[in-house]
Amino acid sequence: MTDLPYDRENYCYRHPNRQSFILCQRCGRTICTACQTQASVGVHCPECVATARQNAPKQRPAAVRAARAWRSNSDKPLATYVAIGIMAVVFLAGLLLDTNRFLAYFPVATALQPWTMLTHPFVHVSILSLLLDGLVLFLIGRQVESMLGRGRFITLFFISALAGAVALLLFVPGGAAIGAGPVIWGFFGAILIYSRSQGSDVRGLLIMLGLFLVLGIVLGSTWQVNVGGLAGGSAVTAVYLRFGAIRQKNQQTLAIAGIAAVLVVIAAIAVLR
């Protein structure tokens, strides 16, 4: 058998050729997205799910109903929904209080408002852009959050936003970053890297991203911010895959912190030059 490039702990115990860093909450074995079943806390493997179903009749009816109610409230991709909710609140605040100038990212104001490098994905100036970004996040954000887990999803979200802002600062310093475009492209980058690691055919996704990029260039949009988000999301996901074993948690954290630090240093140099 061909040697696999990573630690065996990174591979699904039911599908040895599928790399993953998702662990069953009950038994701790590695499972891929095809084998996971969402539970009230984390995910379970097929064997643990089967065991739980066998034991379910032994529980009291009230306990079973309570467990079902808890699952129905916790299966939702909470971080995705919260992000969409914040976008809606920021949009309303922008209409009523003119808060967008404190949250949108303008490279010329980086030194004065550095936090906007992270807040700009929540800003929208029209109801149409809000609805479009919200719809795309609803469709693919849930998939990415299920694939990565809530904590990794949030990290991916903000590093994609930061990478997009840095790209804008470097290549279009007179532009502005508004909307969730870099985050959405970061999610596409995550799906691209993860799917490729599973041996999936990603040519369709690459063609779609290429068409979107050409369309952005033709329409004169600040496409650089989206490409930055794509690069950031891809890099973060590559780190998740490379350091996915439990004992590599510290290495994963350091690598992610390193990516963020590099982006901050690049931004600082660009501002000071």
Q: Are residues 115 and 234 in the same domain?
A: yes
Q: What DSSP line would sit under 30-69, residue for residue?
A: EE-TTT-EE-SSSEE-HHHHHHHHHHGGGS-HHHHHHHHH
- One DSSP character per residue, 134-160 reads HHHIIIIIHHHHHHH-HHHHHHHHHHH
pLDDT band at 61 (very low <50, low <70, confident <90, very high): low
> Where is pLDDT greater, at 5 or 104?
104
Q: Choose one of 28, 48, 74: the last residue of a domain.
A: 74
Query: Are residues 151 and 43 part of one domain?
Result: no
- Domain ranges, residue 24: 8-74
**Which regions of the chain does DSSP assign to beta strands (E)?**
22-23, 30-31, 37-38, 43-44
Kind and range of the H or E element at 71?
Answer: helix 61-74
- Residue 24 three-state SS: strand
Highest mean pLDDT among 34-38, 194-198, 245-249, 253-257: 253-257
The verdict on 23 and 104 lying in the same domain is no
196, with CB counted inside 10 A (0-12, 13-18, 19+), is middle
Share of the chain above pLDDT 70, in %: 88
* Residues 58, 107 within the same domain: no
Could you tell me the pLDDT band of residue 219, with boundaries at 50, 70 and 90? confident
- Residue 205 in this model has a pLDDT that exceeds 80: yes
Lowest mean pLDDT among 29-43, 97-111, 137-151: 29-43
CATH number of the domain within which 130 lies: 1.20.1540.10
The residue type at 17:
N
Same-domain check for residues 180 and 158? yes
The helix/strand/coil state of 243 is: coil
Count of structural domains within the chain:
2
Mean pLDDT across 216-221: 87
Residues 35 and 158 placed together within one structural domain of the fold: no
Whether 86 and 69 map to the same domain: the answer is: no
pLDDT in tens, 138-173: 999 998 998 888 999 999 999 999 999 999 999 999
1 in a structural domain: no
Distance CA 251, CA 117 (A): 26
Average pLDDT, the chain: 86
- Residue 3 in any domain: the answer is no
Residues 52 and 68 in one domain: yes
